[in-house]
Structure 1
Amino acid sequence: MKKNTGAGGASDDGVGVGGNKSDQQRLKGQSSKERNMQRLGGRGLSLQAFARTNHYNPALIKKQREFYKNAKYVRKFKRSLGQHEQQMTARHLEERNETEEATDLDHNTKKRKKNSAKSLRDLYEEKRQEAEKARLEREASIQAKKKERQRAEARRKSLKKKMFKKTKSGQPVMKHRIEHLLQMIQGSTS
């Protein structure tokens, strides 16, 4: 008589419901993941490899189409802008030539040049003075901040010294701590 072992479905003689004895022993040592991989015929494609094989992406295609359309509009705009600029420069050059011819007839051109050099020098001096004033103001504010920082640091050091004072037996001196608490309360109420 055959003896049923239960879960595996195998019997003493090696033939049972689940197949032959060697298959069951082989499958017993594997995890379910390994069994599935063997059943499906290997590991399959990784996510990156799968993504590379699929070239159809409607969102990407739409984005590229929109990019090229915008590039076409920009190219047309730049081309028209260049033509417009050429027309404007041609007009500007003609106007400049006319005005230069008119001013060359005047004998006051030398005086104007001297005046312009003088005004440029004055303008330079004004800018230099303004920059110097701004520099001095910055230095003054830096010095004031530095002094304030030093004062605050000195206050903190003295407060720390008072707060860490100890009696002969090693207990903290409570007088300074109570004064500090009183100042804090008065400061918060006012």
Structure 2
Amino acid sequence: MKNRSRKNEGTSESFNKSDSIDRPKSKTMKKKQKNNLPRLGAGGLSLHAFANAKSKDNHYNPALIKKQREFYKNAKKVNKFKKLLKQQNEQNDVSLPQRMIESENGVEEDRDNNKKRIRKDASLRLEELYKKKHEEKEKERLEREAAIKAKKEEIEKAESRRKAMRDKMFKKTRKGQPVMKYRIEHLLETIQDSTKH
């Protein structure tokens, strides 16, 4: 038995040694490492680039690169905006030669008058709209106030009835006994109301 275990131990040791030292990396391991490189930053900076990362006369400064990118992005956006404005102005305005011809003929004055007239019409329409909305709001407010007044009157009437009923129900004789006349009337009224409904 001892001989067998020694043989097994020797073979297992020799197997482990060869496996860890001489064994080449498998293809799947290489693929995984290759796939992980971009995710991990593709190996990072070189030692030289890392050492000079924040120096003044360097070519690689992340903060400067970020500022430059933002500057270029903003410049692109501004240029796009200017182009759009220019296109809109070209569409809305008449070209320069036509303007010169119209100014000679006096058409430009008519256009100005038309613009003034359109502005006046628009202001009148806005004023009318404002008046209509104001009148509608005033009507709604008056209706609300009328409804609130009616509710208050109903509540006051109900409270006065209850107060009168309570005074009658709590009336007592000279000896301190309750007056049964009003209590019996109240019971009869409730019974009549229940039979009607």
What TM-score does the superposition give when structure 1 sets the normalisation length? 0.47
Higher helix share: 2
Q: Highest Rg: 1 or 2?
A: 2
